[in-house]
Amino acid sequence: MTKNAFHFDALTPDFMWYAIESIGIRAESGFLALNSYENRVYQFSDESRQRYVVKFYRPERWSEAQILEEHGFTLELIDAEIPVAPPLQIAGKTLHHYQGYLFALFASMGGRQFEVDNIEQLEGVGRFLGRIHKIGCLRKFEHRPNIDLNEYLYQPRKILQSSEMIPVHLERSFFNDLDMLITAIEHHWSDDVTSLRLHGDCHPGNILWRDGPMFVDLDDARNGPAIQDLWMLLNGERHDKIMQLDVILEAYQEFNDFNPQELKLIEPLRGLRMVHYMSWLAKRWQDPAFPLAFPWFNDAKYWEGQVLAFKEQIAALSEAPISLTPQW
């Protein structure tokens, strides 16, 4: 796969039209780009004004087996009447090929933004996450990765070290504080908790609200602790997060057990996401879409802010983990 293909340079409107036509769908509208950068995702309408979303997967990121495993998990959830956005099966297939690219088609899903401060919506999300994890517990992904320190800390550090993104005058303090954060996370990390199939990127932006929650974008599905799909839903001050977590877990446990020992992983997981996100942007910076979408990433003020964020996260790791009422 060439560098140009990796960066989607061949993905012109004509190319996409022919790719979709190759599976029997004729696009009649233009292609509306949706907010996706790791892959390329577009909404369009066909001859009968049926709206679709097409996702072109970034070459060399996931193998075909890994993508099909994600699709299979999504279809398991659909069979259990769990509201997720599944890939459409066309001629018995959910994953399609066209001139070196892998792509999938989805029905276009509408909905309102999930409100993280709405108790009723938090309860609904908690119930369905319990149901998702009940199915996720049945077996692990064989091909998709695990949430671990190598993928989320050690490899990202190497990527950041070899990148030219960090201003020279900040390099020493940046890597000194990053290494302190890594040490703090290592101290609090545990591999003893049960690992299961997860949504993997369950933040509010990946939940739509219709008559209930609709979970979208399982592209980061992987094995890991259940708390990974819960902690990104929490926001505000500590007492706000405790209240939100209490609501989510009470609903969650109607369908699946939760190990309270996982609560101590919330701040380590936050630290992992912080480091992994920076390395993801650095790794993708040569893709022209990234400088356009994230111009602040190349600004010295951003990196100064990250040095401060490292210190704040180290302090958060030194505090007592969130705990709930005695029944947990």
Could you list the active site residues?
A: 201, 217
CB atoms within 10 A of CB 60: 9
Using CA atoms, how far apart are residues 23 and 2, in angstroms rounded to an integer? 25
Using CA atoms, how far apart are residues 319 and 268, in angstroms rounded to an integer? 12
Place of tokens 């989805």: 106
Using CA atoms, how far apart are residues 279 and 285, in angstroms rounded to an integer? 10
SS3 category, 236: coil
Q: What is the largest CA-CA distance in the chain?
A: 60
Cα atoms in the 13 Å half-sphere on the side-chain side of 9: 10
Bridge partners (DSSP) listed for residue 32 = 43
Using CA atoms, how far apart are residues 290 and 287, in angstroms rounded to an integer? 6
What tokens were used for 258?
């939760």
DSSP H or E segment with residue 310: helix 300-318
